[in-house]
Each structure stands twice: as structure tokens, then as C-alpha cells.
Amino acid sequence: LPSSESLIARFLQTYPIKSNTVVSHIRQANVGEVSLANTHPFQRELWGKPWTFAHNGQLKEFSQFELTRFRPVGSTDSEHLFCWLMGQLDEHFSCCPSWEEWVPFVHQCCLKIHEAGIANIILSNGDALFTFCSTKLSWITRRAPFGEAKLADTDVTIDFSNETSENDVVSVVATEPLTVDETWTKLEPGSCCVFVDGELVG
């Protein structure tokens, strides 16, 4: 269902979720029917860790990315790409690599996807949050003292001090800047960045 009608969305608004990494996605449903199976983010287990993936963009010919042991449940190009990425990681590394090892490899894989179409990508295994810019992606890091910011798409101002502690470091990555009175950093097409515990590390 659309989020405006979804009981799951209503639940998430009231449930006090606390996490080091959160991946959220608003889907336009360009490829694949509207269904739970086609809803981002997608998740798979590899080396005992849950890997989470979201993709903004569209690839008309994604069958060129041949799959191995990871298979889609739904019918989107996004989940197909995720399964391909997981297969590439599984074949390239014999055991769980550090983020310093897998990030450069995933970046090279994303550049191949970028050649085939639009693929703004977010990927995390809980240790690090990897982001790849194909066309547009922006990020911001907030830290104490936290203040207010006005949302870009509605006349609402959020006071982040009500939701954070003085020790928190909060980075947000989005297709477009979400606020109008803060300075967001825009990524260049073909580039990537990595966050660990809210800090930009690469």
C-alpha cells in the first residue's frame, strides 16, 4: 500500500526504533509490479551478516548481470543488481572482509552498473554504509549542538536536539537534499563515500 495508507508505515512512525544504520526508500515502481516482494530495501545474508540494499534509478537491460547463488524474490532491476553484487562479493572474497577491503571492490562493481544505466546505490552490512552516486546523491553530517532544520518538501521544521544526545553523530544520505537551511554535500557521478558510526571515513 502507499505509505499514506499503510499500517506498517503507521507502526514505524510510533515504534521507538534505535539503530546505528537505517536504510529507507521511496519507490516509484518503474520496473516490477507494486508488491511486498518488490519493496526496498532488500536484504540477504552473507558471512553471517545481513546486507541491506536500496537503489534509485533504472536499468533497461539488467540481464547482462548474470546471477550465481543469490536470486531475486521479486521482479525489479534493483533486486537483480543486489543479488549480482552479493554474488560478486561471495566469489571475490573467501571470508568476511573488512569494509576497507570490500568497499573498493563494490565501487568497481557499481561503476560497471553505472555504465548500463542509472544506479544510485546504498549498501550496508551493519559495519559500514556504502553509497554510490550514478546521477545524484547528497549527504550531510549533524553533530552536537543539534539545532533546527526546515524540510524541503513541506512547511515543517524539525528540532534535532529532541531526538539526539550530545554524543550522537548523524549522517543522512539522500537523492536530493531534504532540508533547505543546511549545507549538503553533493557527490559527483561515479563517486562513492562510506560512513562508519555516522562519520565519513572514505
Q: Where are the domains of the chain?
A: 7-137+187-200
In the predicted model, is pLDDT for residue 171 greater than 80?
Answer: yes
The reply to whether CATH 3.30.70.380 applies to domain 7-137+187-200 is no
pLDDT at 28 (0 to 100): 63
- Write the Ramachandran bin of 60: left for phi over 0, alpha for psi from -120 to 50, otherwise beta: alpha
**What are 78-99's pLDDT values in tens digits?**
899 999 999 999 999 989 899 9
Q: Convert the pLDDT of each residue in 25-37 to its tens digit.
A: 775 656 667 767 7
What is residue 48's predicted lDDT score, i.e. its pLDDT?
Answer: 94
Coil vs helix vs strand at 169: strand
- How confident is the model at residue 6, as a pLDDT? 84
When computed from its CA atoms, the radius of gyration of the chain, rounded to whole angstroms, is: 17
Q: Are 122 and 23 in contact (CB under 8 A)?
A: yes
Across the chain, the runs of DSSP E, i.e. the strands, are 42-46, 49-56, 120-124, 129-132, 138-143, 148-150, 157-159, 169-174, 185-186, 192-196, 199-200
What's the confidence (pLDDT) of residue 27?
58
Indicate the pairing of strand 42-46 with strand 49-56. antiparallel
38 SS3 class: helix
Distances 16 to 19, 72, 129, 147, 161 between C-alpha atoms, Å = 10, 31, 22, 21, 16
Q: Model-level pTM? A: 0.88
Distance CA 100, CA 182 (A): 30
pLDDT reported for residue 66: 94
Looking at residue 18, what is its pLDDT? 80
What pLDDT, on the 0 to 100 scale, is given for residue 32?
A: 63
pLDDT band at residue 144 under the 50/70/90 scheme? very high
